[in-house]
Amino acid sequence: MIRRLLIANRGEIAVRVGRTAREMGIEDVAVYSEADAGAYHVGQMADAVSLGPGTPRETYLSVPRLMEAARRAKADAVHPGYGFLSENAGFARAVEEAGLVWVGPSAEAIEEMGDKVRSRARMRAAGVPVVPGSDPHAVSDADLVAEAGRIGFPVLVKAAAGGGGKGMSRVDRTEDLPEALAEARRLAASAFGDEKVYLEKLLERPHHVEFQIFGDRAGHLIHLFERECSVQRRHQKIVEETPSPALEAALRSRMAEAAVEAGRAVGYVGAGTVELLLDEKRNFYFLEMNTRLQVEHPITEVTLGIDLVRAQLEVAAGRTLPDHWARLTPRGHAIELRLYAEDPVTQLPRSGEILDYVEPGGPGVRVDAGVTRGSRVSLEFDPLLAKLIVSAPDRKAAIERAHRALGEWVVLGVETNRAMLAAVLRSPEFLSGRYATDLVSRLPAGESPEPPPAAWIAAARAFGGPGSAVRSAGPAGGGPGNVRDPWGEASGWRTGA
Amino acid sequence: MRLESGGHIREVRLSADSATLDTASHVVRGGADGASAEFLEVDGVRHRVRAARRADRVFVWCDGDVWEFSAARKESAAAGEHAKDLRAPMPGRVRKVHASEGESVVKGQLLLVLEAMKMEHAIRAPRDAAVRRLTHREGDLVEMGEVLVELSEPPSGS
């Protein structure tokens, strides 16, 4: 039995895990760095403990600080969320050695799947197809150049310890390879502390489809269907849906079987995700396995009517998966939109304060948010603000609902990728369901449309014209940002200092 | 006042019951409706509107879309496609230069790749133009706001 759960994360995922814990009668305990003491997730839980001052590396990414927090919180279990230390075998081991329940797979499974070179070899041995790539023993530039010739260009240079698209680059010609390798090693060393890189054949216009799998200690291992994750930019997912419009029944069941096989090869326990690439000839390949909850897990939850976090907590406490989970079938269609704090043109992360926030609601709408009105958005952390998850009886209705709910969503004060999400929902390719990972790059180039007259007038009023009824900037109202008022005078404006 | 949003610039004049955008005049009625959203009636059409201001920026949610406004500077270097100088959006390293001085480029063409915060960032031509000057070579470190590419003058009249 778990009584008190330390949630070693922040943002929307910490809030989401806490909700299920409380439903199960488990006390949820937040952690926070000092700079993050006012963050939304901290106020949402039964209790909260500080990780002290410092950067994310010294706080949310510090095993000793988190273990100390777990001790002070008198927690008997730790949920790592996603990102941060969720795929860190050392953290999993430390939690278990302290006699606490680790809500995740074994440290061995994390290690096995975390090293992309090793996991590829393991999958090949288990009969799971993998993307053609360089030999695990090829490490030097000369070896890798020879391997690239064998695999055939274009190739992707990838970090062995990588994930999330970091340190990944496309190379089309032999002469560009040494430079790309040096660059990738440098990025890999700084992002993952491991400079090992390898090559993979670059599949043109692939689909990115992943399967949720789940195992328990009694040896059950099942799949919970797929999520289509091809709407990406910079190898980062922004829109996911299930079922995948790219799969028909026979292909779906072959891919699902391969995903379960991949999990079985490492004796997987808990929630995991097997990412597969599907090429234009309908061949599929193992890409990687994520040994944690995925950002996009809610679309599986809403189409299957299950709670994956509840199952994680139950399996971690030693229970078996519910029998009927092996017979689940998805109902309807679900779409997730990820809202990021970012410059809509450059797509670089932005910081700021959420000045106004209203969540959409109504039938088939779920919002997993990590912010609310007054929240500060810092460049130190992942720029994901919140996720909108919609479900409906069919794909067309789900897209219409996504439009409607996205429109209702008021998030003001920091720039976001909202326009890009709307553009994806509007694009003929997305509507047809026939799209691949190049969808975002094919969206009409960033012509910014002109705001309607009502928006210009509302803006002018907010700058202090007649009839101004300005929502105050944040809950504190008169922050430093409100004092200076260079545009208030009717005589026109002068440039701010 | 002169406002800017996504490269568009408008002179907006407000009075109690009307507004002028550049030369077009609109009848305006509106106020808080007491519930969640404010409404604004422009030429008899009702719009749902929320606005939030922080210092020199205003964010507006209007009928489901969000727009950001700032006060337009007289010589707007940041005015999107009219820009003459393309500047580094954040500190970083020039990873690749794809254009050469004197080259004619088309809108959207990749000119340079900047690596910043472990990400690659493409600097593209905001309009059809000639590359007048490239200020950095591959490998150079640049500060935020530093000019990376100087383009020919934009066509006049904007």
Whole-angstrom distance, CA of residue A423 vs CA of residue A452: 17
Contact between chains at B1 and A493 (C-beta distance less than 8 A)? yes
Q: How many CA atoms lie within 13 A of B12 on its CB side?
A: 32
The C-alpha atoms of residue A69 and residue B126 are separated, in whole angstroms, by 50
Look at residue A487 and tell me whether its pLDDT is greater than 50: no
- DSSP for B67-126, written as a single string: EEEEEPPSS-TTSGGG-SEEE-SSSEEEEEE---TT-EE-TT-EEEEEEETTEEEEEE-S
Residues A385, A370 contacting (CB under 8 angstroms): yes
Whether the per-residue pLDDT at A477 is higher than 70: the answer is no
Mean of pLDDT values over A123-148:
93
Give the pairing of strands A101-102 and A77-79. parallel
Q: In the predicted model, what is the mean pLDDT of residues A233-262? A: 96
Q: What pLDDT, on the 0 to 100 scale, is given for residue A470?
A: 47
Q: Which residues pair with A412 in a beta bridge?
A: A356
Given a contact cutoff of 8 angstroms between Cβ atoms, the answer to whether A312 and A301 are in contact is no
Instruction: Count CA atoms within 13 Å of residue A344 on its CB side.
Output: 22
Q: How many CB pairs under 8 A join A and B?
A: 189
Cβ atoms of residues A278 and A207 within 8 Å: yes
CA quadruple B145, A55, A377, A301: dihedral sign: positive
Q: What is the mean pLDDT of residues A322-344?
A: 96
Mutation target for B interface from A461, A484, A489, A494: give the one with most B CBs within 10 A: A461
Q: Does B29 touch chain A (CB under 8 A)?
A: no
In this structure, the number of other CB atoms found within 10 A of the CB of residue A321 comes to 18
pLDDT in the model for residue B16: 83
Over range A151-165, report the average pLDDT. 84
How many CB atoms lie under 10 A from the CB of residue A267?
A: 15
Type and span of the H or E element at A285: strand A284-290
Residue A422 carries which DSSP code?
H
The length of chain A is: 497
Query: How is residue B65 annotated by DSSP?
Result: E
> Measured between alpha carbons, how far is A291 from A269 in angstroms, rounded to an integer?
9
Tokens 């009702």 correspond to what residue?
A: B46
- Chain A partners of B64 at a C-beta cutoff of 8 Å? 406-408
Judge if the upstream peptide bond of residue A243 is cis by omega within 30 degrees of 0: yes
Mean pLDDT confidence for A439-468: 83
Q: Quote the CA–CA distance of A71 and A397 in Å, as a whole number.
A: 48
Nearest neighbour of B51 by CB, restricted to A407, A415, A462: A462
Q: Which helix (H) or strand (E) holds A142?
A: helix A141-151
B130 touches chain A (CB under 8 A): no
Tokens found for residue A262: 């991949």
Q: For residue B120, give the chain A residue with the closest CA.
A: A234
Interface test with B, best of A457, A494, A495 (most B CBs within 10 A): A457
Model confidence at B32: pLDDT above 60: no
Kindly tell me if the per-residue pLDDT of A103 is higher than 50: yes
d(CA B33, CA B47): 12
Chain B's closest residue to A467, CA to CA, is B16
Banded pLDDT at A154 (limits 50, 70, 90) = very high
- Mean pLDDT, range A236-250, rounded to an integer: 97
- Those residues whose C-beta lies under 8 Å from the C-beta of residue B34, and which sit 6 or more positions away, are none
Q: What is the DSSP string of A168-185?
A: -EEE-SGGGHHHHHHHHH
Average pLDDT over residues B121-139: 88
Q: What is the CA radius of gyration of chain A?
A: 24
Q: Which of A292, A366, A373, A401 is catalytic?
A: A292
Q: Which of B8, B12, B61 sits opposite A457 (nearest CB)?
A: B12
Q: Sorting pLDDT into bands at 50, 70 and 90, what band is B97?
A: very high
Å between B132 CA and nearest CA of chain A? 23
d(CA A485, CA A188): 46
Q: What is the 3-state secondary structure (H, E, C) of B116-130?
A: ECCEEEEEECCCCEE
DSSP helix/strand/coil, A156: strand
Average pLDDT on A431-451 reads: 87
Per-residue pLDDT, averaged over A247-253, amounts to: 97
The confidence score (pLDDT) of residue A485 equals 35
Question: What pLDDT does B74 receive?
Answer: 52
Please, what is the angle between helix A297-304 and helix A308-316, to 10°? Answer: 100
Q: Return the higher-pLDDT residue of B62 and A472.
A: B62
DSSP string over A314-343: HHHTTPPPPGGGGG----SEEEEEEEEBB-
Distance to chain A for B38, nearest Cα, Å: 9
Two structure tokens written together for A224:
């919970």
Q: For residues A256 and A324, what is the distance between their CA atoms, to the nearest angstrom?
A: 18
What is the bridge-based pairing of β-strands B92-97 and B104-105? unpaired
Cα separation of B42 and B29, whole Å? 7
Instruction: Reply yes or no on whether A292 is catalytic.
Output: yes
> In this model, does residue B75 exceed pLDDT 60?
no
Which backbone phi and psi does A334 adopt, to 5 degrees? -135, 145
Q: Which residue(s) pair with A356 in the sheet?
A: A412
* Interface contact A453-B40, CB threshold 8 A: no
Nearest-by-CA chain B residue for A445? B108
pLDDT of residue B79 exceeding 90: no
Q: Which residues have a Cβ under 8 Å from the Cβ of A295 and sit 6 or more positions away?
A: A13, A82, A237, A338, A384, A387
Contacts of B95 in chain A (CB under 8 A): 183
**In the structure, what pLDDT confidence band is assigned to residue A115 with cuts at 50, 70 and 90?**
confident
- Tokens representing residue A155 in the block: 């190739």
Tokens read off for A292: 């944690």
Structure-token pair, residue B122: 């493409």
Q: What is the average pLDDT value for chain A, to the nearest integer? A: 91
- pLDDT bin (cut points 50, 70, 90) of residue A324 is very high
pLDDT of residue A484: 33
3-state secondary structure of A117: helix
Is A341's pLDDT higher than 60?
A: yes
- Is the pLDDT reported for residue A479 higher than 70? no
Q: pLDDT digit string (tens) for B98-118?
A: 999 999 999 888 899 888 766
Q: Which of B1, B10, B59 sits opposite A412 (nearest CB)?
A: B59
Residues of B in contact with A411 (CB under 8 A): 66
Structural tokens at position B93: 């390293």
Q: What residues of A are in contact with residue B65 (Cβ under 8 Å)? A: 407, 419, 422, 451, 455
- What is the C-alpha to C-alpha distance for residues A379 and A343, in angstroms, rounded to an integer? 12
pLDDT tens digits for range A377-406: 999 899 999 999 999 999 999 999 999 999
Average pLDDT over residues A160-167: 72
Note whether B85 and B150 are within 8 A (CB): yes
Q: Which ipTM value was assigned to this complex?
A: 0.84
Distance of CA A175 to the CA centre of its chain: 35
At B144 the pLDDT is: 67
User: What angle separates helix A116-125 from helix A107-114, to the nearest 10 degrees?
Assistant: 100
Question: Which band of pLDDT confidence, cut at 50, 70 and 90, is reported for residue A192?
Answer: confident
More confident residue, B95 or A213: A213
- Reported in sequence order, the residue ranges of A202-254 that DSSP labels E, i.e. its strands, are 207-215, 221-233, 236-242
In this prediction, residue B70 has a pLDDT band, given cuts at 50, 70 and 90, of very high
Which of A44-53, A194-203, B34-43 is predicted least confidently? B34-43
Tokens of residue A233, six digits:
């930019």
